[in-house]
Amino acid sequence: MKILADTHTHTLASGHAYSTIQENVRAAAEKGLQLIALTEHAPAMQNTTSHAYFANLHVIPEELFGVRVLKGVELNILDFGGAIDLDEKTLERLDIAIASLHIPCITPGTEAENTRACICAMENPLIDILGHPGDPRYPLNYDEIFKVAKQTGTLLEINNASLVPDGFRAGSEENILGLLKMAMKEDVPIVVGSDAHFYTGIGEIPYVEKLMDKIGFPEDLVLNTNIQKLLYAIKRNRRTKN
């Protein structure tokens, strides 16, 4: 599978990632990607960047080294009501927003509580992607998650970092497989993200590919293989067009 876009990446600004924007975008260009999304951790994550960083992202050109650059964020879901850590005005000005559950920002609840947190986030018109929903530390009702994702047009992310053996989110595989099978059955597209925290990881999704190959997941349901389809599927882009 040849992906043309990486929709989940981090730089030095996130506090626990190690490359610059230039290094990441250059790596994207060298690997033949046409689009990269800058998605730093939002302010509630320890040692990440501030609100002002996201408010000023417009100073970065829309294209660098021939690669389209989406200015985005990886929001933290803060409570079971789907609260997030960036104000609406700033969020509205960004090109893409992922929302994820992270241990430092929300203690896992029951399956019902975690599911409600994600559903509330997906109902937010400014949240385009639910990040790494396979994380076994946050049990979810995947039937519900899938249903609301479809209803709200929120994209479910298949995250390469979640599948790294012995990684932070070890044990994600089974949950991800379940989601992929639902997507296949109902012909619903998904997004893939490297979640790279160093430039060498940009555009690299080997674990995702392995899993997809195992079940024969159709390439045309992976939005990252088609820039036009991807941009159209981003909820906020549809909103402004309507």
CB within 8 Å of 146: residues ≥ 6 apart:
156, 179, 182, 183, 186, 188
Phi (first) and psi of residue 88, to 5 degrees: -60, -40
157 binds Zn ion (CB under 5 A): no
* Segment interacting with Zn ion, rule: CB under 5 A, options 42-50, 98-106, 134-142, 184-192: 98-106
* Segment interacting with Zn ion, rule: CB under 5 A, options 19-27, 74-82, 134-142, 180-188: 74-82
Q: Name the minimum Å distance from CB 83 to Zn ion.
A: 17
Instruction: With beta carbons less than 8 A apart as the criterion, state whether 111 and 141 touch.
Output: yes
Of 74 and 173, the one with the shorter C-beta distance to Zn ion is 74
* Segment interacting with Zn ion, rule: CB under 5 A, options 68-76, 135-143, 180-188, 200-208: 68-76
Instruction: With beta carbons less than 8 A apart as the criterion, state whether 169 and 136 touch.
Output: yes
Site of tokens 């970092």 = 161
Alpha helices (H) in 82-192, listed in sequence order: 88-93, 111-122, 142-152, 173-186
List Cα–Cα distances, 177 to 43, 138, 231, in angstroms. 31, 16, 25
Q: Name the minimum Å distance from CB 161 to Zn ion.
A: 7
Of 9 and 115, the one with the shorter C-beta distance to Zn ion is 9
* Segment interacting with Zn ion, rule: CB under 5 A, options 21-29, 66-74, 216-224, 227-235: 66-74
Integer Cα distance of 213 and 13 in angstroms: 34
Q: Report the residue closest to Zn ion, judged by CB.
A: 100
List Cα–Cα distances, 46 to 102, 142, 187, 205, in angstroms. 11, 29, 38, 26
Of 107 and 151, the one with the shorter C-beta distance to Zn ion is 107
Of 198 and 238, the one with the shorter C-beta distance to Zn ion is 198
Alpha helices (H) in the chain, listed in sequence order: 21-30, 51-55, 88-93, 111-122, 142-152, 173-186, 206-215, 227-233, 235-241
Q: Name the minimum Å distance from CB 47 to Zn ion.
A: 14
List Cα–Cα distances, 108 to 112, 113, 172, in angstroms. 11, 8, 15
* Segment interacting with Zn ion, rule: CB under 5 A, options 17-25, 72-80, 164-172, 221-229: 72-80
Interface with Zn ion (CB under 5 A), residue total 3
| Contact set for Zn ion, span 183-202 (CB under 5 A) | 195
Of 90 and 194, the one with the shorter C-beta distance to Zn ion is 194
Binding residue for Zn ion, selected from 11, 49, 100, 124, defined by CB under 5 A: 100
- Interacting residues toward Zn ion by CB under 5 A: 74, 100, 195
